[in-house]
Chains A and B, each alone.
Chain A
Amino acid sequence: MKTNLDNLDIQIIDLLEEDGRASAKSIALKLGITEVTASKRISKIIKGDHCKVVAIADFEKCGFKFLLPMGIKVHGKQLEQVAEKISSLDAVYSVSAVSGIQDLEILCATKTLDETVQLLDVILPSIKGIKSITPAISSKVYKFQTDWAPLGND
């Protein structure tokens, strides 16, 4: 579903990108529109399916010491079921079906080594249909840009 944005919407999105909590009043002032128009447009924008304004929390500062980008290979037709099962795990933060050597690319976050071992050796292997797990631990994150996401699956 694609909805159309006009020029004013795009200007408002740009301002929200700079300061996501900017008030309707300050946005109205900057764009020379009324506060009512600004707040109507803002609700339209954030309630639509183009973008969201959210707080993003830092994994590490919230106690997640391990970030694990893993590749998963799946037996034949079970891809969707396996992907849904993996998605239901709390430790898993993203799940994407891919074409290439792997079938799924997933990103997990865990707090301790024990939790990591549990995920890798017990929880994931117990999911029926997983053929192989290629794990890795992220040692240093150089860039993690959070300005995009596939929205609308939640």
Chain B
Amino acid sequence: MNPQTIVKSSAPVGAPGRAAGPAGHRRSRSNRRAEVRLFSRLGHVALAVWAVIVIVPILWTFLAAFKNTTEIFSSPWTLPAELRWENFGRAWTKANVGRYFLNSVIVVGFGTFGTMLLGSMAAYVLARYKFWGNRFIYYLFVSGLAFPVFLALVPLFFVVKNLGLLDTHTGVVLVYIAYSLPFTIFFLAAFFKTLPSSVAEAGMIDGCSHTRLFFRVMLPMAKPGLISVAIFNIIGQWAQYQLPLVLLSNAKEKWVLTQGIADISVNAGYEADWSGLFAALTIAILPMIIVYAVFQRQIQSGLTSGAVK
């Protein structure tokens, strides 16, 4: 939208019309201009309305987080009379949002790290080494993309229970890793295939071991792909609700943020602590806005990468 491009452009667009000259052409051009104006005006209204629909509920939550219950009921649309930071304190400690937040960070941190490590190792071997059973293992992983998690939910609960991992973060992390492998391997195997083999060969001639070659040469080369998948996994695992609900049901102190917030919303009804709930929601949403503002481009491409492939 800078003036330079507009100046540059006016010549080629205007030229053919003027050169052709006939009145019919000119009229259709002005018609078209009117059409453009109407279309873009309507379009602007639609876009602005949708932006409001997206922003307002979130902004309204942030404002309500500073109000007290009376204000929430009497004047839901006004600014808070004063900034009641104690709402956040109550949500953070009494409602355990701080605990839930930390749990989410731990589970997603280990979960994504494990997924990336194991997923890239398997994807690399499956993409670049010929051995008996390679295709079978690859399709075994990829077929996991087609199965709904809910099909496995009951047996999964008992598998985790029999391993003594029920109500532990270890259990959740291992399950997250296992269920993130299909997409991670599917995506990364395609990525490793595109890397040039000349570098790998040079490494082998220099006496590099397979393991060293992978960690020192191939992984750094695959960085763009790794970042996309890592973002995909972080956001997916952060949003998980059904798996922790089943796997951590009896250990409230181990709950993750999604579980915790959903639980607080149930209890807010009994305790009539609406401002505490709004504060808890704000604590859950605000960090995502900050992370999104910083990594907006990477997040968009990371999340859509699955669909583009």
Q: Do A and B bind each other?
A: no
Interface set of B (CB-CB < 8 Å, partner A):
none
Q: A residues engaging B (CB < 8 A)? A: none
